[in-house]
Amino acid sequence: MKHRLFTIASRSRGRKQSSPLASRSFSRLSSQSDRPSFGIAFDIDGVVLLGHIPVGGSPRALRRLYDDSGELKIPFVFLTNGGGFSESKRAQDLGQLLGVDILPSQVILGHTPFKQLVNRFEDKLVVAVGKGEPAAVMSEYDIWTTSLGLQINVLSIDEYTSYFDAIDPLATYKRWTTKTDIDQNITSNETAKRKIAVQTERVQAAFVVGDSVDWSRDIQVLCDILRTGGLPGKETGNQPHLFFANDDLEYQATFPAERLGMGAFRIALEAIYNRIHPIPLAYTSYRKPNPFVYGNAETVNLDVENTTNSGIRCFKTLYMIGDNPKIDIRGAQQAGDPWFSILTRTGVFKGKDNHSEFPADLVVDTVEDAVDFILRKECGS
C-alpha cells in the first residue's frame, strides 16, 4: 500500500476507533448478568502463530471465547511487541488466519503506545523506520503537518533516504530495490520541491516502528539524523527524539533458532553512535516487559467493557498467555495485580518445568491448554 501524505482534509484527530462490529460483538455481553470478571491478553508470535501458521490449537482456543452465533463472550486482546502494520490491518490478518472476528482495538502492537506521542510532533517532520508500512502506521496515529506547504509529515526512512544523494555509500551494491513510498502521481517538479523541503526541514523524531530491513543503511542514516540535530550532512545539533516500539533481543519465528530482533538493532545503533558522538544516545523503548504496556492492555480491555455500558472496572483477573519468560511473564509480574501469567511451550520457552528466573503462575504446552484452564477455572466449563 502506498503511504499517502496527510492533508488537512484528511485530518481525523479525536476520532474514536469504532466499528459496527464493536457494538454488535459486545451487545450481548451487556445484557448478560454473568458478564465475565476476567480478560485475556494473548501474545501472538510463538503462542497463536508461528510465522503465518496457527500453532497450539489457537483457532479452536479462540473460538471458545465466542458464542455459537459468533458473538464475543470473553474480552480479550492480542498483546505483542511485533508491528510494522496498522492495528486495523493486523486485526484483519489475524482474523483471517485464526478464523474469528478481531477488532482493531483488540490489537496492541509494539508501536501502539506511539499513539500517545503524536501531539508532541504535530507540525514536525518525523521519520519512521522498519519493515512493512512504518509511515502509514504513524499516519494512522494522526501525525500530520503542512510543512513548507508541501504536506510533509511522517516519512518512511526509505523515502527520506531517497532525497539524499549518496547518503548510503553501499546502495549500488545492494541487489534489492527499496520501495520508496513516493507518490507516483506527483510531477518531477513537485519531487524536486519536496527534496529541497526534506533536506532543509529538521527531523524532530525517529520512530523505529518495526524491524529494520537494511541495518547498514538505517544505522548510517539514523546516525546522520541523530548527530546533526535532524539535518544530515549539515551542522551538528541536539539529538532528535528516538523511540523504539520494542527492545526484544530475539524472537521466535518459523526458523528453528531464535532471530535477532529490534533490541539487537538498538544495541548495534547505540554502540556505533556512542563511538562517533561524544554524548551517549538517548532513546525510549516501549516494550512488553514495561508495565506501561500492560496498563494499556488493561485500558483497552476496560474500553471493551465500556462499550457494554457497564462503565465498571470489574476485572478480577487478567491472564497473560505468552511464550517468552523474559518478556511476557516478566511483564505480567511487573504489572502485578490483577495479572496472572501463563507460559506456553510452543515458542521461545521449551523447558520441561517452569522458567527459573521468571517463573510463570502456570506452565502449559499450548494456548489451547491455557484457554482450557482459564475457562474451567472461571466458568467451570
Nearer to Mg ion (CB atom), residue 221 or residue 262:
262
Residues 245, 292: contact at Cβ < 8 Å? no
Nearer to Mg ion (CB atom), residue 36 or residue 84:
84
C-alpha cell at 69: 452465533
C-alpha cell at 105: 482495538
Q: Per CB under 5 A, does 305 bind Mg ion?
A: no
Burial class (CB in 10 A: 0-12, 13-18, 19+), 294: buried
State in angstroms the smallest separation of the CB of 210 from Mg ion: 15
Q: Using CB under 5 A, pick the residue from 45, 140, 142, 214 that binds Mg ion.
A: 45
State in angstroms the smallest separation of the CB of 150 from Mg ion: 41
State in angstroms the smallest separation of the CB of 23 from Mg ion: 31
Q: Per CB under 5 A, does 87 bind Mg ion?
A: no
Contact range with Mg ion by CB under 5 A, out of 264-272, 294-302, 319-327, 362-370: 319-327
Contact range with Mg ion by CB under 5 A, out of 16-24, 41-49, 128-136, 192-200: 41-49
Q: Per CB under 5 A, does 323 bind Mg ion?
A: yes
**Packing angle, helices 215-227 and 262-276, rounded to 10:** 50
According to DSSP, the residues that pair with 260 across neighbouring strands are 250
Residues 327, 294: contact at Cβ < 8 Å? no
Contact range with Mg ion by CB under 5 A, out of 19-27, 37-45, 50-58, 100-108: 37-45
State in angstroms the smallest separation of the CB of 297 from Mg ion: 15
Beta strands in 87-178 (DSSP E): 107-108, 125-129, 154-156
Nearer to Mg ion (CB atom), residue 43 or residue 87:
43
CA distance 46 to 253: 7
State in angstroms the smallest separation of the CB of 339 from Mg ion: 16
Beta strands in the chain (DSSP E): 38-42, 49-50, 53-54, 76-79, 107-108, 125-129, 154-156, 203-208, 241-244, 250-251, 259-260, 284-285, 317-322, 339-343, 362-363
Residues 158, 179: contact at Cβ < 8 Å? yes
State in angstroms the smallest separation of the CB of 293 from Mg ion: 13
C-alpha cell at 36: 465475565
State in angstroms the smallest separation of the CB of 374 from Mg ion: 18
State in angstroms the smallest separation of the CB of 323 from Mg ion: 4
Q: Per CB under 5 A, does 43 bind Mg ion?
A: yes
**Cα angle at 299 between 295 and 303, to 5 degrees?**
170
Nearer to Mg ion (CB atom), residue 47 or residue 126:
47
Q: Per CB under 5 A, does 247 bind Mg ion?
A: no
Q: Per CB under 5 A, does 46 bind Mg ion?
A: yes
Counting residues that bind Mg ion (by CB under 5 A) gives 5
Q: Which of 376, 333, 381, 375 is nearest to 76 (CA)?
A: 375
Nearer to Mg ion (CB atom), residue 67 or residue 361:
361
Nearer to Mg ion (CB atom), residue 230 or residue 263:
263
Nearer to Mg ion (CB atom), residue 49 or residue 155:
49
- The residue ranges that bind Mg ion (CB under 5 A) are 43, 45-46, 323-324
